[in-house]
Chain A
Amino acid sequence: MALLLKDGAVAEDAWVVVGDDDAAAVPEGAVIVSLDRWRRDRAALSARNTALGIRLKSSQLAAEIAADLDRFTLVVLDFPVFRDGRPFSTARELREHHGFTGEIRASGHVLPDQYQFLVRTGFNTVVVGEGANLASWRHALSEISVAYQAALSAEQPLSNLRRRLDPSGS
């Protein structure tokens, strides 16, 4: 079972990921669909009266969902491999340019060493594997306390280049 991390701690995950298979019925409650599925079943998904999340591959950038953002309360950005840094930009575009205020979740292959970067580019939550060392994830939020550039997340400017990071990451 994958775990959901929020502010360094395990959080409850009420969302259900729905596949792209047409035949499968969409379950009740909050669901996450792919961009393909959203485009295909847009009318049906819109008619549901529950929260909707969308999942983007790293090659699917913020502009792809910009026009529909008000339909989603969650955007999941997938890292096929931790070295693929595109979702960091996608998250920032969603927050800063498109004004998205819902949850942005990282999934796929991410490392604790990237946790602070995720928080600072606008992610709220991370899906980690079952075997993840939660202590490493928790520690990652506070191991560097100084940032040298403006970004997102709650941080206190020391100057307009330097800032002190909030270890809670919230």
Chain B
Amino acid sequence: MIRAFLKRVFLVDLFEGLRVTFRNQKPKYIYTEQYPAQRPKVAERYRGAPRLNLNPETGEPLCIGCNLCALACPESLIVMTSIRDEKTKRKTMNTFLFDTSRCMFCGLCEEACPSDALELTQDFELATYTREGQIWDRKMMEEGPKPTRYKC
């Protein structure tokens, strides 16, 4: 009884909490990111900006124009056309439109791609000044976004 009373008077419970606060004065885990100066390293499997991969040896697009990514997309935001190459008798991708403003980066298009052409990369800076800039065409898909690098 007296013990409890003294604990109340001397604010023991509040000091117990303060002890935790002071124990954390030199924190071991710090997650603050100095963002524009230091870019965070995202995980290897990060699902970011989409990219159409090119064959590293020939520079030709890996895409075979099968349209599977467009069918897999829940938002139907991929629109592509393909033409038949008269010489090789194979289908090749002609135009490719990817609306990143509606994309939720679920990765289903990447999983549907049979030739590893479409890939969600580790680029995460997708902001643009216009709404139309969010719709990426084939050239943009192959080159990837070019975010501004600031000197800090």
Physical interaction between A and B: no
